[in-house]
Amino acid sequence: MKFLDLVVQRQGLRKWSQAARNAPMMSLANLRRERARARKLMYSLNEVISTADNRLALPMIGSNAFPKPHGTDWSWRPELWREPLPAPGMASVKSKSMLGREVTLFHDCAHSELSLRQLRNSREADLAPYGLRMDVFAFDGSFLSVVLDFPQEAVNGLTRKHLLRMDTIVEMEKPLEIFARLNIKHGPNTEQIVRELPLHEDEIMVEFDLAYSNLNEKRVERAWIDLIFENPQMSQVVLHDLTFSRRPRAEL
């Protein structure tokens, strides 16, 4: 706050403090006038307080804070759940359309009635500043998936001793099956591990144990995750948060 603004604020505070002390002795005409002025001021003050309370209660933009297992050596909340996007939504989404720099939608619909939108999280339980809402109306395709490309840090030093964990918060209009497929490209091959999300549980989490893979650790190039939605027609799905972490498996 600038010095002049601070002086004006203090003068205003002194004026209203003096008016409060003088109110019992004021004439009725002066009291009515002061009451009208105070009500106008109170309306503006209440607006500021209400807006501040609402904004300060929201998760902080850019937040990468979320619980991580002990021993985590890499963690990530994708950009869409962390930062405001320049173009927050799209309708009649065509296959291979991107929302932001990391999220791509794939489908084989002849006529798309799909929409994607980034939304601001406002629930008390939300740690992520933003979420992703997907609305699906008529659906004449055979598959629908949201693909996230992992940053290079996710595969640097990746070995078969690692566990990759995905946590999410999902809100749905109707029951759906959602699968997460981890893809790791190593040389000419791509290792794939599929897990079904336990949507009936309070904590929606899946882990990918690379010990059971045929991963060639020396040739790992990149990784991505597919979120696959089964029978999505006439549904709305909100992913309020999506986070990933990596840790070495505990030695027995």
Q: Are 83 and 61 in contact (CB under 8 A)?
A: yes
Structure-token match 């030093």, residue found: 157
Q: What's the burial of 84, exposed, middle or buried (CB within 10 Å: 0-12/13-18/19+)?
A: middle
d(CA 32, CA 30): 5
Q: Identify any residues that bridge with 172 across adjacent strands, giving them in sequence order.
A: 237
d(CA 249, CA 252): 9
Residues 198-230: pLDDT tens digits? 999 888 999 999 998 999 999 999 999 999 999
Q: Is residue 101 domain-shared with residue 141, that is, in the same domain?
A: yes
Q: Is residue 162 domain-shared with residue 86, that is, in the same domain?
A: yes
- Asked if the structure places residue 222 within a domain, the reply is yes
Number of domains in the chain: 2
- Asked if the structure places residue 172 within a domain, the reply is yes
Q: What is the pLDDT of residue 6?
A: 73
Domain hosting 198: range is: 74-248
Q: Is residue 43 domain-shared with residue 83, that is, in the same domain?
A: no
d(CA 95, CA 114): 10
Listed residue (174, 178, 146, 167) closest to 236, CA to CA: 174
Residues 82-135: pLDDT tens digits? 999 998 999 999 999 999 999 999 999 988 899 999 999 988 778 899 999 999
Listed residue (130, 128, 131, 105) closest to 227, CA to CA: 105
Q: Is residue 51 domain-shared with residue 115, that is, in the same domain?
A: no
d(CA 181, CA 193): 6
Q: Is residue 192 domain-shared with residue 141, that is, in the same domain?
A: yes
Q: State both tokens at 51.
A: 């807006």
Q: State both tokens at 217.
A: 């650790």
- Asked if the structure places residue 67 within a domain, the reply is no
Q: Is residue 48 domain-shared with residue 115, that is, in the same domain?
A: no
Q: How far is CA 151 from CA 71, 106, 154, 175, 221, in A?
A: 20, 20, 6, 31, 11
Q: Is residue 51 domain-shared with residue 107, that is, in the same domain?
A: no
Q: Would you call 122 helix, strand, or coil by DSSP? A: coil
Q: Is residue 79 domain-shared with residue 50, that is, in the same domain?
A: no
Q: Is residue 79 domain-shared with residue 144, that is, in the same domain?
A: yes
Tell which phi-psi region holds residue 153, choosing left (phi > 0), alpha (psi between -120 and 50) or beta: alpha
Residues 45-69: pLDDT tens digits? 777 765 665 565 566 777 777 889 9
Q: Where are the alpha helices (DSSP H) in the chain?
A: 3-22, 28-57
- Asked if the structure places residue 62 within a domain, the reply is no
Listed residue (187, 245, 181, 244) closest to 221, CA to CA: 187
Mean pLDDT of 141-159: 95
pLDDT cut 70: percent of the chain above it? 92
Q: Are 134 and 237 in contact (CB under 8 A)?
A: yes
Listed residue (175, 166, 148) closest to 207, CA to CA: 166
Instruction: Classify residue 2 by its DSSP letter.
Output: -
Q: Is residue 117 domain-shared with residue 222, that is, in the same domain?
A: yes
Question: What is the pLDDT confidence band of residue 7, given thresholds at 50, 70 and 90?
Answer: low
